[in-house]
Amino acid sequence: MDFTRMCPKYEAAADLLGKKWTGLIIRVLMGGPKRFKDMKEQIPDMSDKMLTDRMKELESLGVVKRSVYPEMPVRIEYELTDKGKDLQEVIESIQDWGDKWM
């Protein structure tokens, strides 16, 4: 690897994962599909608006998939796509680093 120049792909990945709440959302979704309220229970300090905004962003980037089930009432679930699941090693590495140093 060349560490003397910034790679635009690395920069884009760091920007995505560095946004407040994004890493936590991805970590929560690693446990499987979740409804909005389930994610809020696991990340209670995040506002509804922030969760909505982050979910839309992650969906537009192909990291999260939104599924709507036409039940009464309508059920909406979010889950990681293959692209999102590929972040598992990254998230686990951050957890390992945090366990060691934080």
Given 1.10.10.10, 3.40.50.300, 1.10.375.10, 3.40.190.10, which CATH number is that of 8-101?
Answer: 1.10.10.10
- Report pLDDT for 31: 96
Q: Where are the domains of the chain?
A: 8-101
- Report pLDDT for 56: 97
Torsion of CA 33, 34, 35, 41, to 10 degrees: 180
CA 68 remoteness from chain centre: 19
Judge if the upstream peptide bond of residue 73 is cis by omega within 30 degrees of 0.
yes
pLDDT tens, per residue, the chain with 102 residues: 667 788 899 899 999 999 999 999 999 999 999 999 999 999 999 999 999 999 999 999 999 999 999 999 999 999 999 999 999 999 999 999 999 999
Give the C-alpha separation, 71 to 52, whole Å: 21
Determine the length of the chain: 102
Scan for tokens 């969760």, then name that residue: 51
Give the C-alpha separation, 3 to 21, whole Å: 28
Are residues 35 and 41 in contact, defined by beta-carbon separation less than 8 angstroms?
no
Token code pair at residue 100: 């060691």
